Amino acid sequence: MYRIDPMTQEDVPEVSRVERRCFSNPWPVSAYRRELQAPDQNHYVVLREEQALGDPPDPAENGAAPHDRTNGDGAPAGRPVPRRTLLPLGFGRRGEGNGSAAARLGRPPVLGFAGMWILYDEAHVTTIGVEPSHRGRGLGELLLVAMFDEAMRRGATWLTLEVRVSNEPAQALYRKYGFHVQGTRKRYYSDNHEDAHVMWSRSLQDPAYREELAALRTALSARLEQRAMSHEV
């Protein structure tokens, strides 16, 4: 079981540690801190494993406290991540003061993160990263679906991203979700000057495409549920 929460300033050090294990050209901490100051223009989330029954409760839930890189408070106090996304997910509601060190004691570690910029009718995925030891479990796909959900919630028409030309697994995932290569940015990545493919989704306003995304969401939910059940046995 997993949960997705809006990324906060207090999450940044942990996100940065995970990112350094994911990418050879990680963002500086200051970049995330700057991004989180403009939640109307972007959206950043973190993914954690949901606490099992019997674990210490998350104070925020009790009201005690209010991909390769595509080279990207995450939400106003009290704003939840949309609940119309995947199951089996839990969704955190950040209340005032929830970012304090005391309120965050006992929270599961960050396993992944994602973010995007939103400008007019375009949502641009800036980063998706998953802890290397947890890859192959559908968590990158889960974060991508979270970006789709938020893009649609905000009324965007397109989802775009960049991906290394050598990263075929990521490209396969993006193609699965309706992305197509629309161009190439030469020497885009600063670590090795590798080119990047620019990929665009189909129109998020297309009812047929929305139905396809819903079917993919349902299939991923079933996959995660099956995995969770197999680990409980």
Please, which residues bridge with residue 124 across strands? Answer: 117, 160
Distance of alpha carbon 90 from alpha carbon 113, whole angstroms: 15
Q: Is 162 a catalytic residue?
A: yes
Catalytic residue among 2, 32, 44, 174: 174
Scanning the chain, the segments in alpha helix (DSSP H) are 12-22, 29-35, 101-104, 139-153, 168-176, 207-232
Scanning 47-113, the segments in alpha helix (DSSP H) are 101-104
Q: Is 174 a catalytic residue?
A: yes
Catalytic residue among 19, 131, 162, 177: 162
The arrangement of strands across the sheet holding 122-130 comes to: 89-91, 2-6, 42-49, 110-119, 122-130, 158-164, 196-200, 180-185
What is the CA angle 13-16-21, rounded to 5? 135
CB 166 within 8 A of CB 189: no
Q: In the 8-state DSSP scheme, what is residue 3?
A: E
The one-letter amino acid at 207: P
Torsion angle defined by CA atoms of residues 163, 168, 169 and 172, in that order, rounded to the nearest 10 degrees:
80
Query: What are the catalytic residues?
Result: 162, 174
